[in-house]
Amino acid sequence: MTDTNRPTGLMTTAIHAGDAPDPATNASAPPIHMSSTYVTENLAGFSAHDLTPDSPYVYSRWANPTVTGLEAKIAALQGTEACLATASGMAAASAIFFTFLSAGDHLIISDVSYAGVAELARETLPRMGIEVSAVNMSNPEGVAEALRPNTRLIHTETPVNPICRLTDLAAVSKLARQSGALLSCDATFASPLGLDTVELGVDLTLHSTTKYIGGHGDAVGGAITGSSALVSKLRTEAGIHHGGVLSPFNAWLIARGATTLPLRMQAHQAGALALAQWLEADPRVTKVIYPGLPSHPQAELARRQMANTSGMIAFQVGNAVTGERIAQQMIERLKVIHYAVSLGHHRSLIFWMGTEGLMESSFHLRGSQLEDYRAYAGDGIFRMSVGLENADDLIADLDRALG
Ligand code: PLP
């Protein structure tokens, strides 16, 4: 079922892809296969290279039926041939870097990325002999200038965590094609339904399934979708050799969450739009960045590229001092929204990030890159993941906390 290429309506795909009545019992709901090993009837090789798409199950680091079901569901939702589920979103990012980059290769990465990915790229990859250029991916010309003969991978994130800045994927994928590099995109903020990454020319799409795909804040996981050939390489290197595979229990929870993804994404988008409009009209709020608002600096690109603008909003209240004070008020006053990291859950979550702290801890931007960041996001921002609660209750909660 991994090459379904969106054959049916999205809700039907979300519910049925990778899922079928259990052949042993006819159970309608999928069982959890917690077995680490499988009784084999044939003599089998013991190398990762012996695994083929129709190999029987041998050992759960190679493949597990519950995880296979989730992989088929995510591949179908993203419209790709295949998917590898990983132990976390970070395991998915390291799977891409360590499978497709070697010493002497060059990586171009968004200068603003999820902090863990930024740190991995800036601190660990150079230690392995990999050259890294961090560029502002909202400017394709900057990407073109950063290309080198040894550029093997361009890795972007759109909308980017935490400032909701966008990458024009069609433009960057054209550059990747021309230079013979692969393009990977972290689409965690958008979910598989926000971006048609296949149509836009992305080779590998990364999701932290901890977020929208799982959707309920109860399981950590990751996924990479792409062609069968690329995913098979990832499965051999990252899954079987590096070992960062997903547990069947988490796969089951994430697959159960994914069955309602299309409905949830519609509701996240509607809730976020209502909140973003309310925030934009409130005089206490300095700036709101939401791809679904006409005021987003890349609103035209958002309309062209995003089928769903998702539930992620970045907003600024005054300067760093005001922001920190309001963050403290939120911790004390919020009754519905949780002051917590993470995103994409049914519960609304909010977190304040000071520019200085982000720069020191992960991005290390200086000069014109720091100026670009400040011009876009100001001096400290709140990142809000709008959940599925009633918008009026979320607005009342924020109103109390901002007061
Ligand atoms: N990518 C993005 C955009 C994220 O926001 C996160 C986590 O917040 C990750 C990757 C890492 O995912 P995980 O926490 O599942 O390892």
pLDDT tens-digit readout, 39-66: 988 776 778 777 787 888 999 999 999 9
Ligand 1 center–CA 94 separation, angstroms? 12
**Going by C-beta distance under 8 Å and a sequence separation of 6 or more, which residues neighbour residue 184?**
96, 153, 154, 155, 156, 202, 203, 204, 205, 206, 224
Residue minimizing CA distance to atom 2 of ligand 1: 114
Residue 308 to residue 205: CA distance in whole angstroms: 16
Atom of ligand 1 nearest to the CA of 341: 8
Q: What's the pLDDT at 2?
A: 40
Residue minimizing CA distance to atom 12 of ligand 1: 89
182: region left, alpha or beta (phi > 0 left; psi from -120 to 50 alpha): beta
- Helix and strand numbers (H, E) in the chain are 15, 12
Residue ranges of the chain with per-residue pLDDT less than 70? 1-7, 44
- Identify the residues whose C-beta falls under 6 Å from ligand 1: 88-90, 114, 116-117, 157, 161, 186, 188-189, 208, 210, 220, 222
Residue of 188, 191, 216 to mutate, ligand 1, most atoms within 8 A of C-beta? 188
Secondary structure letter of residue 186 according to DSSP? E
Q: What's the pLDDT at 55?
A: 84
Check the CA dihedral 194-198-203-209 and report its sign.
Answer: positive
Inter-residue contact 316 to 280 (CB < 8 Å): no
Q: What's the pLDDT at 8?
A: 78
Q: What's the pLDDT at 7?
A: 55
Global pTM? 0.96
Residue 374 to residue 381: CA distance in whole angstroms: 10
Q: What's the pLDDT at 3?
A: 42
Residue 281 to residue 385: CA distance in whole angstroms: 19
Give the chain's domains with CATH numbers.
10-258 (3.40.640.10), 262-402 (3.90.1150.10)
Structure tokens at 197: 């990454």
